[in-house]
Amino acid sequence: MVLGDLTEKEFRTEDFINYYRHLKQRFLHFQTAFSKENQPEDCTVGAFSPWNSISAQILEDRDDLCRVAGMRKLQIRKLQSAGINTLTALARTSETNIAKIKPEILERLKKQARLQIETVASGKTASEPLPHVKGKGFALLPPPSVADAFFDMEGYPHADEGLEYLFGAILRGESEPEFKDWWAHDRKEEQIAFEAFIDWVYARWLQHPSLHIYHYASYEVTAMRRLACRFNSRIEKIDELLRNEVFVDLYLIVKQSLCVGEPSYSIKKVEHLYRGQRDGTVANAGDSIVFYENWLEAKDGETWRESKFLKDIRDYNEIDCMSTLELGDWLRARQGGEAVTATPVTLLLQQSI
């Protein structure tokens, strides 16, 4: 077998021949029975599949329930059992009770479907606040600090046990945002970059106890815990930072405070609420993996200053960090219920000081 990093590994045929024959039989049966008129029930092949554009069009054409953000397969089956088979039907239903779906969850799914339809109709992302729950949503958003940082990581999953090759963070800076980056292209460099980033965060936190490190979704914190265990390093510092809630997940705040009329809650979709169209060659995490793989093959330079591939990845990471900063400001402007005009960042910082 030729692996993703182009290394070759050999395996004993007799250990795998039965499984191979089973896969071959399934494949030949699929080929024999294939018909383009007989579409599979589940076309959710994932964003990294080469068939994604085709399956996405199929799902859109049949107004599939799986296009509702946050919808689970088990919930789809329960809705279908109640005669609700499309996204539009869910948005328009007057049903308030469906077997084995909690009423509050049903209402959120209905609202989600309705807002997605409104977004398509108007061409502008629709959103509505969710009912306030004590200790959740906007309540998790701390006051701003001049020392806050906005953090994003890039990883390459095809390396053996994965490689976290870029730690990026944006600071507000004196006059304009300042971007900092730590790179790693092998296991030794990964440890150096990881330790340097954690040391930087920890020292900055000791100097500015009110600061927070904002990120979007759980990947960054999960990766840091994994790296701490892998290298048996910086465990105490990470533990202290987490116990003091220095890291703030804006995805959790968005999910608990808002219903957004997009088919997913990735930052690429949510940012339609507060920023314009993205620029840059690298459009998403899947692209960054491809670009990093291209760099591994081409090696058109050792650093981002010399390599176009690494420069494009760095630009993408910086945009993600900047988008996280803008999302934090946008959420804070609505934290007190103001949903029309965002409070200027400078005023927010003055208020926190």
Residues with Cβ within 8 Å of residue 108, at least 6 apart in sequence: 70, 130, 259
Give, rounded to a whole angstrom, the gap between the first and last alpha carbons of the chain. 59
Question: Cβ–Cβ contacts within 10 Å for residue 339, how many?
Answer: 11
Instruction: Tell me the per-residue pLDDT of 272-291, one tens digit each, with 9 for 90 and over.
Output: 999 877 776 666 677 788 89
- Mind listing the pLDDT tens digit of every residue in the chain (353 residues)? 888 778 899 999 999 999 999 999 999 998 998 887 777 666 666 655 667 778 888 889 899 999 999 999 999 999 999 999 999 999 999 999 999 999 999 999 999 999 999 999 999 999 999 988 899 999 999 999 999 999 999 999 989 889 999 999 999 977 889 999 999 999 999 999 999 999 999 999 999 999 999 999 999 999 999 999 999 999 999 999 999 999 999 999 999 999 999 999 999 999 999 987 777 666 667 778 889 999 999 989 999 999 999 999 999 999 999 999 999 999 999 887 543 333 333 333 333 32
Tokens (6 digits) for 152: 């994003």
Please check whether residue 129 is in contact with residue 137, taking contact to mean a CB–CB distance below 8 angstroms. no
Q: What is the pLDDT of residues 110-150, one digit of tens each?
A: 999 999 999 999 999 999 999 888 999 999 999 999 999 99
pLDDT at 288: 87
pLDDT at 5: 76
Task: Report CA torsion sign: 335, 337, 342, 345.
Answer: negative
If phi over 0 gives left and psi between -120 and 50 gives alpha, with beta otherwise, what is residue 100?
left
The encoded tokens of residue 79 equal 């809705």
- Using CA atoms, how far apart are residues 295 and 303, in angstroms rounded to an integer? 10
Tokens of 20: 């191979």
pLDDT recorded at residue 44:
65
Three-state DSSP class for residue 310:
helix
Q: What pLDDT, on a 0 to 100 scale, did the predictor assign at position 245?
A: 96
Q: In the prediction, which pLDDT does 155 show?
A: 95
Q: Residue 76's closest CA among 64, 62, 63? A: 64
Distance of alpha carbon 219 from alpha carbon 63, whole angstroms: 31
The domain ranges of the chain are 52-124, 137-352
User: Under CATH, domain 137-352 is a member of which superfamily?
Assistant: Ribonuclease H-like superfamily/Ribonuclease H (3.30.420.10)
Residues 284, 323: Cα–Cα separation, whole Å: 13
Topology agreement, domain 52-124 and domain 137-352: no
Query: Which tokens go with 350?
Result: 């003055």
Fold adopted by 52-124: DNA polymerase; domain 1 (1.10.150)
The whole model's pTM is what? Answer: 0.83
